[in-house]
Amino acid sequence: MYVSLALLAVLSVYLLWAVSHLQYSLKTTEQKLQSLQKEENEDHQEGEEHYELAVVMGRFQLYANKLWFSGMAGNTELADFYAHELEEAMEEVAEQNLTENGQSITEQIKIWGLEPLEKLEEATATGDKQAFEQSYDALVSSCNGCHVTCGYSWVRIKRPETPAFDNQWYTQN
Ligand code: HEC
C-alpha cells in the first residue's frame, strides 16, 4: 500500500514536471516562429521599397545621348521630346524618398537635375545651337556634380561621340 502510494507520488511529480517542460518548449517554439514571421515581413517590405536607382540612371544616359544628337541636328521638336522624357525620369526619381551616402536624392535631383534641365529646355526652344551646346554641357557637369555629391565620383558623363542607336533619324523630317 505505502509502496504504491509512494510510486503514485513519484509518478505525479514526474507528470507535473513533464507537462511544465512541454509547456515551456511550446512557448519558446511559438516565440521563435513569431520572430521568424516578423523577419519575413520586414524582408518583404524592404523588397517592396527597393528602387533601383542605377536602372533609371541608365535611362538618363540614353535620353542624354539622344538629346545631344537631336539638338545638334537642329531638330528642336525631337530634342524637346527627349528633354521632356529626361524630366519625367528625374521627377520619378524625386518621388522615391531615397538617400545615398547621407544625401537626399529628392533634394539633389532638383539642384543638379531639374534646374539645369529647365535651362536646357529654354535654350532648345530658342533654336540657337550655341546656346543648346552650352546648356547641354552645363547639364552634363551637373550629372557629374551630383555623382560627386552622392559619393559616385567615378561615374563620369561626357558629351557623346556616337549615337547609342544607329537605327533612328535625328534630323528633321
Ligand atoms: C541625384 C543626383 C544625380 C543626378 C542629378 C544624376 N545622377 Fe546619375 N547617379 C546618381 C547616383 C546616386 C548613382 C548611383 C546609383 C546606384 O548606386 O544605384 C548614379 C549612377 C549613374 C550611372 C551609372 C549606372 C549605369 O547605368 O551605368 C549613370 C550612367 C548615370 N548615373 C547617368 C547620369 C546622367 C546621364 C545624368 C544627368 C543627365 C545623371 N546621372 C544625373 C545620382 C545622380
Per-residue pLDDT for 43 more than 60?
no
**Grid coordinates of 5:** 502510494
pLDDT at site 41: 65
At position 124, the amino acid (one-letter code) is T
Q: Which residue's CA is the nearest one to ligand 1's atom 37?
A: 143
Q: Quote the Cα angle for 72-74-78, to 5°.
A: 95
Report how far ligand 1's centroid is from the alpha carbon of 76 (Å).
25
Average pLDDT over residues 92-108: 96
pLDDT at site 124: 95
d(CA 140, CA 37): 47
Per-residue pLDDT for 50 more than 90?
no
Report how far ligand 1's centroid is from the alpha carbon of 97 (Å).
16
Average pLDDT over residues 151-161: 98
Instruction: Give one word for 131, left, alpha or beta, with left for phi > 0 and alpha for psi -120 to 50.
Output: alpha
pLDDT at site 141: 98
Enumerate residues lining ligand 1, CB below 6 A. Answer: 53-54, 57-58, 60-61, 64, 100, 105, 108-109, 112-113, 139, 143, 146-147, 150, 152, 155, 157
